[in-house]
Amino acid sequence: MASLLDFNTNLSQITGETTLLYKDIARNVEKTKRIKIIDFGIGQPDIVTFKRIRDAAKEALDQGFTFYTSAFGIEELREKIAQYLNTRYGIDVKKDEVIITPGAKPALFLSFILYINPGDEILLPDPSFYSYAEVVKLLGGKPVYTNLKWSREEGFFIDVDDLQSKISSKTKMIVFNNPHNPTGTLFSPNDVKKVIDIARENKIILLSDEIYDNFVYEGKMKSTLEDADWRDYLIYVNGFSKTFSMTGWRLGYIVARRDVIQKMGVLAANIYTAPTSFVQKAALKAFDTFDEVNEMVKLFKRRRDVMYNELSKIKGIQVSKPNGAFYMFPNVREILDVSKLDVKSLAIKLIEEKGVVTIPGEVFPLNIGKDFIRLSFAVNEEVIREGVQKIKEFVEEMMKP
């Protein structure tokens, strides 16, 4: 006999505490205290999807393109993605090495479910995007965390020795995210090469999430796809949500060797049948909008500079200037020590007293995030200035003797 409450036992390991929790707290504060909410927790561009993309979706609908497509996605879009990557990185991805997914999260899920057996160890950076660990645990795998080092001058960088030391006979996969959420780090080409070398030499799968690859403000974006031997070890994940401000459209993709993509197609057909038809047609037009993309990135760079400059003025906060994505990850350890709060309590108190939403770094497991909060600068400059001023007032009140 079974009860409706006899859930999969692996669910007990999943926290469910995502960035959405803090938005819920903010809604309640706004409703009950009538405090204006400034949301630095948002993980999406605030720019409406570009007109040419919206028009292409309307045209596809008007033409009746509303039926199932292949589980792999439409041929034209797979070809377009391959062409784009080949032109950008000087590589040779083939159409049949691409599968379209309903968002980058399902792409990650397909990648994990294809490989993880109970007991397999998956190496994750600490800190990292929370969903990686949650899906690993759901599938019976074990997250093993590798430290990112931090200094105020250099920001975050890979601790290669720590990464190497965490490899065991049970290690199945390394997860790599560049540019990085939550820190905003664009890892150097040298760091990228070191991660590739470790995966290849130890015969470990490398899952590379490069969803923020067009949000680069300084430095060079080196893709894992640029390695000549990528087909031997790489699962590459990307999508349309960030680059083209298409978060609500839910469209991502995976690049891997052909026989891996074939297996993913079988999984996809059984899980969600196919990606949404007319959204794929709209995505074809997205590749014609890089003028708009570049303007958006310039805008975000200005916003980054405003947030960095304003946060740098606050005593008790140490902040490094991120060179990728649209997040800032300041160190607030001094404030925590004085206030005797943990970072989650600090973030909640900031919402309740000032109406400013940040995400406590402990959401991005395991330990390093406990000294940090994440702020998104995907909001306009006036809001950034107002919100950081409220943070300054809050910190000054907390730091009073």
Residue 152 is predicted with a pLDDT of 85
Do 177 and 309 have their domain in common? no
Tell me how many domains the chain contains. 2
- Of the residues 230, 265, 288, which one is the last residue of a structural domain? 288
Domain interval for residue 58: 51-288
Do 39 and 55 have their domain in common? no
Do 384 and 329 have their domain in common? yes
**What's the CATH number where 25 sits?**
3.90.1150.10
- 284-310: b (≥16 Cβ within 10 Å) or e: bbbbebeebbeebbebbbebbebbbeb
Reading the block at residue 44, the tokens are: 């999406």
pLDDT digits (tens, 9 = 90+) for 68-104: 999 999 999 999 999 999 999 999 999 999 999 999 9
In-domain check, residue 5: no
Higher-confidence residue of 15 and 126: namely: 126
pLDDT digits (tens, 9 = 90+) for 257-306: 999 999 999 999 999 999 999 999 999 999 999 999 999 999 999 999 99
pLDDT digits (tens, 9 = 90+) for 208-220: 999 999 999 999 9
pLDDT band at 400 (very low <50, low <70, confident <90, very high): confident
In-domain check, residue 155: yes
Looking at residues 319-323, what average pLDDT do you find? 97
Do 206 and 305 have their domain in common? no
In-domain check, residue 378: yes
Residue 14 is predicted with a pLDDT of 83
Do 82 and 176 have their domain in common? yes
In-domain check, residue 359: yes
pTM for the whole structure: 0.96
Do 236 and 309 have their domain in common? no
In-domain check, residue 126: yes
Looking at residues 168-172, what average pLDDT do you find? 98
Do 100 and 158 have their domain in common? yes
Do 230 and 319 have their domain in common? no
- Of the residues 288, 303, 324, which one is the last residue of a structural domain? 288
The yes-or-no verdict on residue 16 having pLDDT over 70 is no
Do 263 and 322 have their domain in common? no
- Of the residues 288, 305, 321, which one is the last residue of a structural domain? 288
pLDDT band at 129 (very low <50, low <70, confident <90, very high): very high
In-domain check, residue 144: yes
